[in-house]
Amino acid sequence: MTICLIAEGSYPYVSGGVSSWIQMLVESMPEHDFIVFAIGAEEKDKGKFRYVLPKNVSAVHECFLDTSLKLAGHPGRRYVMERSHREALSALITGKECSWNDIFSMVDANPRMQAVDFIMSREFYEIVALAAEMEYPYISFNEYFWCIRAMLLPLLGLLCGTMPQADIYHAVSTGYAGVLAARGATLCQAACILTEHGIYTREREEEIIKAEWVKGYFKNTWIDYFISLSLCAYRQANPVISLFGAARDIQHQLGCNPGKTRVVPNGVQSEDFRNLPLKEKEEGVLWLGALVRLVPIKDIKTMIQAFFIAQRTVPGMRLHIMGPSEEDPAYSEACRQLAGGPENPDIVFTGQVPVREWVGSMDILLLSSISEGQPLAVLEGMAASKPHVLTDVGSCRELMNGMPRQPEDTFGPAGIVVPVMNPAAYAAAIVLLAQSPEMRRQMGQSACARVGGLYTMEALKATYREIYRKGGLDHGRDRF
């Protein structure tokens, strides 16, 4: 069967995390044909893939959120707008209950619609003017219009494009990817599946609250907008998959039908992380490692600060930050400067590395993110029998200490969990492990046992193979 995998801001442009999961999933199912629908931020990334595409990827459709923003547009064009279309678009703009079928119907009723032209039309102006009168009567209409324009242009640009035909549309996040999966499933009368690695709505909310480019009085407008995008995916998709129980609870809170949700944890091939090669290292020097992208959400600065604090008590340590830096060059450079630049030999920025060539040499693995789902890098480090210091985000607590209400998880602690953005607490955990070789050994053994017992690649493959089989059968398209 043909499966359209829809990814936003990840595969195949960004290494690690969700992208690694997609690569693994596709490679593990050679019996299926995959179409990758990649949603990127900027056109400059077109064709810049960081992965060799598996042989069963028949096509890659690239779309970029900044494409519509660059077009000049043609004012004065008229559009077919039924009352239901106007009501649905108004609801989307104002954060009310939105009929996505009517949004899709509006696009279908205007087959030559171009997003930037529609934004300049009288029909759109009238809808926004009425919304401004209801929601923001004391704010400049010009400000409000440009806020709504910035919100809707990327979405409408994607909806006005073509969708590849498939038997199943599988989004790996909500947001734009989730809406397009719902759109494809509606057009082709196909199955729609959603896997949320992190809670997209919560991540966007955190970004918007901190963002300087969003005026304070428009922050709720943007947050409600992203909630609407998520609800579109939640309502169309079945099943709606999360990686751990707490994420599933948040999906329910956001409005997803609990009867459609299920938890499918990540998995790794534990055998691949046994008997790893060791690099030559100085005697008595502890190697700390972080397999992580250099981006703000990973909070590398807290890790560096914690390392400096820990060094005051345990001077014989070296920190290896192993991951790509191209995604946010300004943040990467700030991290390097905080670390003391190339003059400080105790903090090494290796760039992206083959995980299995490096992780075996690490004594302790670190992660200091302010938001996560269920990090594959942590599972791989656990499979390599390494103890961890992790921030209390996503499923990190249950990875280290076991899953609540799961009696078969008797493996014991695999690391130490600390509060987010707390260098002192983070440093204390590093010192505790650095000074306790036996604790490191025991935690490493527990980590390996927990992954081998509960987070296997075999279980992951079997579950998704069955999900795809049922999706194809439910829509009469099974080709087995």
Rg (CA), the chain: 24
pTM for this structure?
0.91
pLDDT at 248: 95
Please state the domain extents for the chain: 2-66+162-266+459-474, 83-152, 270-455
Question: In this structure, what token pair is assigned to residue 266?
Answer: 């990540």
How far are the Cα atoms of 93, 127, 147 from residue 132, in angstroms, in the given order?
10, 9, 11
| Residue 127, C-beta contacts closer than 8 angstroms, at least 6 positions apart | 86, 89, 90, 93
pLDDT at 61: 97
d(CA 229, CA 158): 13
H/E stretch holding 230 reads helix 219-236
- Of 49, 54, 43, whose CA–CA distance to 12 is shortest? 49
| Residue 13, C-beta contacts closer than 8 angstroms, at least 6 positions apart | 19, 38, 40, 45, 48, 49, 50
pLDDT at 476: 37
| Residue 124, C-beta contacts closer than 8 angstroms, at least 6 positions apart | 89, 118
Question: In this structure, what token pair is assigned to residue 272?
Answer: 């691949």
pLDDT at 74: 83
Between helices 83-94 and 141-159, what is the axis angle to 10°? 110
pLDDT at 37: 98
Architecture of domain 2-66+162-266+459-474: 3-Layer(aba) Sandwich (3.40)
pLDDT at 449: 95
Q: Provide the b/e sequence for 359-396 (b: ≥16 CB within 10 Å).
A: bbebbbbbbbbebbbbbbbbbbbbbbbbbbbbbebbbb
Quickly count: other Cβ atoms within 10 Å of residue 406's Cβ.
11
Write down the number of H helices and E strands in the chain: 18, 13
d(CA 205, CA 415): 29
Phi first, then psi, for residue 127 (nearest 5°) are: -65, -45
d(CA 160, CA 228): 19
Burial class (CB in 10 A: 0-12, 13-18, 19+), 72: exposed
pLDDT at 313: 97
d(CA 423, CA 48): 36
pLDDT in tens, the chain (480 residues): 999 999 999 999 998 889 999 999 999 999 999 999 999 999 999 999 999 999 999 999 999 998 887 877 788 889 999 999 999 999 999 999 899 999 999 999 999 899 999 999 999 999 999 999 998 999 999 999 999 999 999 999 999 999 999 999 999 999 999 999 999 999 999 999 999 998 999 999 989 998 888 988 899 999 999 999 999 999 999 999 999 999 999 999 999 999 999 999 999 999 999 999 999 988 889 999 999 999 999 999 999 999 999 999 999 999 999 999 988 999 999 999 999 988 899 999 999 999 999 999 999 999 999 989 999 999 999 999 999 999 999 999 999 999 766 777 889 999 999 999 999 999 999 999 999 999 999 999 999 999 999 999 999 999 999 999 988 665 533 322
How far are the Cα atoms of 41, 85, 132, 180, 240 from residue 68, in angstroms, in the given order?
11, 21, 23, 16, 30
The superfamily CATH assigns to domain 270-455 is Glycogen Phosphorylase B; (3.40.50.2000)
pLDDT at 472: 65
d(CA 213, CA 53): 36
